[in-house]
């Protein structure tokens, strides 16, 4: 009788649990190491606690990283349909909300409960409160782990330690340190899916305002990306999914000391011709006494008052005596508000991080090109997706591929 392969999975997050379950199903004896007191802590906060675990509209363009083609090959081996089947077969009902996939309970704890149940069913040994301090390649080929609870030898090791986003849940970049022990290098890691800060102080007066908008991210005078959706103004700058989608590009811009600006169209339903016609008709038909009254009904009151003041007017000023160029300036701000970006929220607030170990440093099966029998999965690799379940899908896909490959 052949001896079971002994596999260690380092990291009890989404990709680590998937890797552990998959490897165990392939017949390996699996040991899952998690330095926090329980597995899956970060998973509980995903999708605002509802856990958008995948997306039916899975496309290559929804992912970033230096090796997008290689990432897509991994995703194609375990797609959204496979993720749904995996959880449904384990007993979880799935809800489809416009392509975004959730547990029917809309509770992230349901996904975690299913994964913990599978770990138990597949007889995975779970070691919590146990940080892996180092990894070392032994002469006979095995890999030695030095942990807080002692030393152990394994035939194969899977690093699934997460990135640096939400470090309180365990993702504090520790996996990068272990990867470096095997000779791996890092593509610079920055926060992604995160809020952005701006220099303009008046933005505080608009805190709490939400509006549909079209955003253009400009780097050193050149537009590098655009997004449309609901924008939220905050005390420090701007937030909302529409901002999160642009944040990784902004974060890399800050890293490289680029001049980063955001141009905001607060009335995206109007093209330039339609807006010009709208302005003309409003001027001709409005008999308002004050400037504020003239602009009432166009946008949120806080936002309009800010635009009025930025144009050199006061809300209570007489509309009839206001300079036309200042009135036109208010109209212009509604369609093209420029914010000078100064930075982004820290890793503590980021949903994921961009950067990490390059896919060029692992094989198509996610095995290290430097150390045989060392595999990697999840967020510690240089792959990140947009909002909408795409990052968890990468966790499932990469965990599946790493687990299956390691157990062969």
CATH number of the domain at 6-187+355-406, please?
Answer: 3.50.50.60
Q: Please state, in angstroms and rounded to a whole number, the distance separating the CA atoms of residues 197 and 228.
A: 19
Looking up tokens 């200042």 gives 326
Q: Tell me the sheet residues that pair with 228.
A: 214
Query: 170: pLDDT confidence band, cut at 50, 70 and 90?
Result: confident
When pLDDT is averaged across residues 102-110 and rounded to a whole number, the result is 97
Query: 301: pLDDT confidence band, cut at 50, 70 and 90?
Result: very high
pLDDT over 50 (residue 297): yes
pLDDT over 70 (residue 372): yes
To the nearest whole number, what is the mean pLDDT of the chain?
96
When pLDDT is averaged across residues 378-406 and rounded to a whole number, the result is 98
Looking up tokens 């520790």 gives 174
Q: Which two tokens stand for residue 88?
A: 């449904």
Distant-in-sequence, close-in-space partners of 299: CB < 8 Å, separation ≥ 6 = 211, 266, 267, 307, 334
Domain ranges, ordered by start, for the chain: 6-187+355-406, 195-344
Q: Which has the minimum average pLDDT: 43-52, 215-224, 272-281?
A: 43-52
pTM above 0.85, yes or no: yes
- pLDDT tens digits, 391-404: 999 999 999 999 99
pLDDT over 60 (residue 38): yes
The β-bridge relationship of strands 210-219 and 63-64 is: unpaired
Q: What's the confidence (pLDDT) of residue 3?
A: 83
CB 227 within 8 A of CB 386: no
Q: Please state, in angstroms and rounded to a whole number, the distance separating the CA atoms of residues 19 and 403.
A: 4
pLDDT over 90 (residue 295): yes
Q: What's the confidence (pLDDT) of residue 2?
A: 67
Q: Please state, in angstroms and rounded to a whole number, the distance separating the CA atoms of residues 372 and 28.
A: 17
3-state secondary structure of 333: helix
- pLDDT tens digits, 217-246: 999 999 999 999 999 999 999 999 999 999
3-state secondary structure of 226: strand
pLDDT over 50 (residue 138): yes
Closest by CA position to 82, among listed 113, 58, 64, 115: 58
pLDDT over 70 (residue 176): yes
Q: What's the confidence (pLDDT) of residue 1?
A: 47
When pLDDT is averaged across residues 262-291 and rounded to a whole number, the result is 94
Percent of the chain with pLDDT over 70: 100
Percent of the chain with pLDDT over 90: 95
Q: Which has the minimum average pLDDT: 3-12, 124-133, 134-143, 279-288?
A: 279-288
The percent of the chain in helix, strand and coil, each rounded to the nearest 5, is 40, 25, 35
Q: Please state, in angstroms and rounded to a whole number, the distance separating the CA atoms of residues 298 and 284.
A: 16
């Amino acid at each position: 009788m052949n001896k079971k392969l002994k596999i260690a999975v380092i990291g009890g997050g989404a990709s680590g649990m998937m890797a552990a379950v998959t490897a165990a199903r392939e017949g390996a004896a699996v040991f899952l190491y998690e330095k926090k007191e329980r597995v899956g802590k970060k998973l509980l906060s995903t999708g605002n606690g509802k856990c958008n675990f995948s997306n039916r509209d899975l496309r290559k363009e929804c992912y970033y990283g230096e090796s997008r083609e290689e990432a897509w090959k991994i995703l194609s081996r375990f797609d959204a349909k496979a993720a749904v089947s995996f959880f449904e077969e384990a007993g979880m009902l799935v809800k489809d909300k416009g392509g975004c996939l959730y547990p029917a309970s809309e509770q992230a704890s349901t996904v975690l409960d299913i994964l913990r149940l599978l770990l138990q069913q597949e007889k995975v040994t779970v070691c919590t409160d146990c940080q892996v301090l180092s990894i070392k390649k032994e002469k006979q080929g095995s890999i030695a782990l030095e942990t807080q609870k002692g030393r152990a030898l394994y035939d194969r090791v899977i690093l699934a330690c997460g990135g640096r986003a939400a470090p309180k849940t365990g993702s504090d970049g520790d996996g990068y340190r272990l990867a470096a022990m095997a000779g791996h290098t890092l593509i610079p890691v920055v926060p992604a899916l995160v809020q952005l800060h701006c220099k303009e102080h008046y933005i505080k007066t608009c805190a709490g305002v939400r509006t549909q908008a079209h955003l253009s991210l400009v780097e050193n005078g050149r537009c590098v990306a655009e997004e449309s959706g609901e924008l939220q103004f905050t005390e420090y700058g701007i937030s909302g999914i529409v901002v999160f989608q642009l944040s990784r590009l902004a974060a890399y811009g800050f890293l490289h000391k680029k001049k980063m600006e955001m141009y905001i169209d607060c009335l995206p339903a109007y093209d330039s011709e339609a807006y010009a016609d709208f302005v003309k008709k409003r001027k001709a038909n409005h008999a308002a006494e004050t400037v504020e009254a003239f602009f009432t009904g166009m946008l949120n009151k806080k936002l309009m008052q800010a635009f009025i003041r930025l144009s050199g007017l006061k809300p209570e000023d007489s509309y009839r005596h206001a300079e036309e160029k200042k009135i036109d300036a208010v109209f212009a701000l509604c369609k093209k508000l420029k914010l000078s970006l100064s930075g982004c929220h820290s890793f503590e607030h980021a949903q994921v991080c961009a950067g990490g170990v390059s896919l060029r440093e692992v094989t198509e099966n996610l095995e290290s090109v430097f150390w045989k029998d060392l595999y990697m999965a999840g967020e510690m690799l240089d792959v990140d997706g947009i909002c909408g379940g795409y990052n968890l899908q990468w966790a499932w896909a990469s965990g599946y591929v790493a687990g299956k490959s390691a157990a062969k």
